[in-house]
Amino acid sequence: MAAVTETTPVASLAVEGVAKRFARFPALKGVSLTAQPGEFLALLGPSGSGKTTLLRVVAGLETPDAGTVSFEGEDFLALSPRERRIGMVFQHYALFRHMTVAKNIGFGLRVRPRSKRPPKAEIEATVERLLSLVQLQGLGKRYPAQLSGGQQQRVALARALAIEPRLLLLDEPFGALDAKVRKELRHWLRAVHNETGVTTIFVTHDQEEAMDLADRVVVLRLGLIEQVGTPEELDERPASAFVFDFLGESNQLPCRLDGAEAVFDGFRTPAVAAPGAAGETSAWFRPHETEVSDGGEGLPVTVVDILIKGAMERLECRTADGRLLDADYPRGSLPAGLRIGSQARLRPKRVFVFPERAD
């Protein structure tokens, strides 16, 4: 776990030791987590890591086998989902297909008990305000199926915000959208969050999305929290090889750790060692922190391919023992003299080293 100092006395949401098992599959194996008021938190992990289950436990759609969930000191598990006043946005939007957009958004207000239900005109005004917040003015009379995926997602968000939720939960909110719409919506979601200030937790398997959007990222793996930290902390101080590998593309080489340096065959590089790392181990490094040259110190490799990757150019290199390693350079700044088939030397600028783990 990352060293996040939490000084605020009452957390917005506090999850403590939550475990949940489905038939034979343990989805959560004891997860503890807090969210500060107004915080934007990402639950990041591959499928099967338990991130959606955790979200559904907080929403009350799943009951945990063990652990506690509290919100501003109040026991959440004693409340039914309808009493928790949580705004939930589902991966496939879950819009009510037979209701218009306006009816969808107003649903949470209309189903309130008569004594707490706002008058009709007030509901309509709220719906109009939310339609303009999610930039869908004039589409209130449409049916969900008449909208694009991105528009449906915004309706789902407006519907969740209508009940003035104490907590906003989003399950893979952009999972079903294409890449371009996804990026637009991402920044727009951040803007909506800044405007409403409601504590928000979203689930994603897209590391870029998590790192781009969240104040803090919770990395989950096999039902346990692997690391919690700000995007910078995760980048600079990954707690495990899993986190490092999950957060981006990576190269891996055997090395020996010697203080703050990794020792390779014939050269050394600076190493960021996670606590517990020692001795013969693996060095992990990013393609953009990898240098290839046609001479000097480094691991002998053969350039097997040169690819264009957006603004970068990638050298695919093979070591004598068949290992494939990548090096990324900005377009047009490849070291001179390298072409497919060249013999070259490869060395990382810095590496990350983690304790060996028996799983």
Q: Report the interface residues with another protein, using CB under 8 A.
A: 59-61, 80-82, 84-88, 90, 92-98, 107-108, 111-112, 143, 145, 149, 159-160, 162-163, 176
Looking at residue 275, its amino acid is: P
CB of 338 to another protein, least distance (A): 45
Give 171 or 291: the residue with its C-beta nearer to another protein. 171
CB of 264 to another protein, least distance (A): 50
Give 60 or 223: the residue with its C-beta nearer to another protein. 60
CB of 122 to another protein, least distance (A): 16
CB of 169 to another protein, least distance (A): 8
Give 173 or 229: the residue with its C-beta nearer to another protein. 173
Structural contact between residues 275 and 253, judged by C-beta atoms closer than 8 angstroms = no
CB of 116 to another protein, least distance (A): 9
CB of 272 to another protein, least distance (A): 42
Give 61 or 312: the residue with its C-beta nearer to another protein. 61
Give 150 or 335: the residue with its C-beta nearer to another protein. 150
CA distances from 296 to 306, 310, 324, 344 (A): 21, 29, 20, 9
Give 112 or 187: the residue with its C-beta nearer to another protein. 112
Structural contact between residues 317 and 292, judged by C-beta atoms closer than 8 angstroms = yes
Structural contact between residues 232 and 56, judged by C-beta atoms closer than 8 angstroms = no
Angle at 205 between CA 203 and CA 210, to 5 degrees: 65
Contacts 24+ apart (CB under 8 A), 146-153: 147/101, 148/181, 149/176, 149/177, 149/178, 149/181, 150/177, 150/181, 150/184, 150/185, 152/93, 152/95, 153/89, 153/93, 153/177, 153/185
Tokens 């939720």 belong to residue: 165
Give 32 or 91: the residue with its C-beta nearer to another protein. 91
CB of 84 to another protein, least distance (A): 8
Instruction: Please name every residue paired with 285 in a beta bridge, in sequence order, or none if there are none.
Output: 251
Structural contact between residues 224 and 33, judged by C-beta atoms closer than 8 angstroms = no
CB of 88 to another protein, least distance (A): 4
CB of 139 to another protein, least distance (A): 16
Give 178 or 249: the residue with its C-beta nearer to another protein. 178
Give 92 or 187: the residue with its C-beta nearer to another protein. 92
CB of 94 to another protein, least distance (A): 4
Structural contact between residues 31 and 64, judged by C-beta atoms closer than 8 angstroms = no
Give 103 or 256: the residue with its C-beta nearer to another protein. 103
